[in-house]
Amino acid sequence: MELIKKGHACVALREDGRTLVVDPGGFSEPDAALGADAVLVTHEHPDHFDERRLRTALEANPAAQVWTLASVAAQLSAAFPGRVHTVGEGDTFTAAGFEVSVHGQLHEVIHPDIPRITNVGYLVNGSVFHPGDALTVPGRPVDTLLLPVHAPWSKLSEVVDYVREVAPAQAIDVHDGLLSDLGLGVYQRMLGPTGPGVRTEHRHLSPGQSTAL
């Protein structure tokens, strides 16, 4: 399986000619969802879900389908009947040949005055876990954790402890679109061997870069 970083929180997974895209939002590459056979969306925030871009991708590929939570599905279902599927924690399904299980329920707390929304994470092929905007522990071994390194709702100590708790074979950065080059450097040092230690291999990919899993 190949993983391609598509900017900020978005990644594409490719295997045997099939493409699964997770969280093509407004901070992703403009064509992040184009060519997808299946799309997963963790929650409704615009950096994870760009309705216009996703509609364009679904129109370009009439066979493409979407799996997401109710708040996102409600914005797409009428235009694409039978192609948008609502999921929640504990669900399992097959999307374009990829086996997916759903974990988590709520977005992390941004501030006590801001209501929490629903957020789900996706474990793909029992191997790659994208938590969306939450520090959800899937409760099973994970080979590759897509790690939200920076957000208004997180701090570094929580990120470090999250990687330690999930204990993946490797962690690859996502949710890094708000970081400058200076900020990225700081996070790489803190999550690397000179920091407190995440006890696993940690990697950063720039938009467009890929890696074999």
Rounded to an integer, what is the distance from CA 110 to the centroid of its chain? 18
* C-beta of residue 18 within 8 angstroms of C-beta of residue 97: yes
Q: Among 41, 2, 7, which residue's Cα sits nearest to residue 19?
A: 2
Provide the Cα torsion 86, 52, 122, 37; round to 10°.
90
**Residue type (1 letter), 43:** H
pLDDT band, residue 148 (cuts 50/70/90): very high
Rounded CA separation 112/114 (Å): 6
Query: What is the average pLDDT score of the chain?
Result: 97
Give per-residue pLDDT as tens, 192-209.
988 998 999 999 999 999
Angle, helices 156-166 vs 181-191, to 10°: value is 50
Q: What is the pTM of this model?
A: 0.97
CA atoms in the 13 A half-sphere facing the CB of 128 = 23
Full set of structural domains in the chain with CATH: 2-99+115-212 (3.60.15.10)
Provide the Cα torsion 178, 148, 209, 166; round to 10°.
160
* Predicted local confidence at residue 112, as pLDDT: 96
Average pLDDT value for residue range 143-158:
97
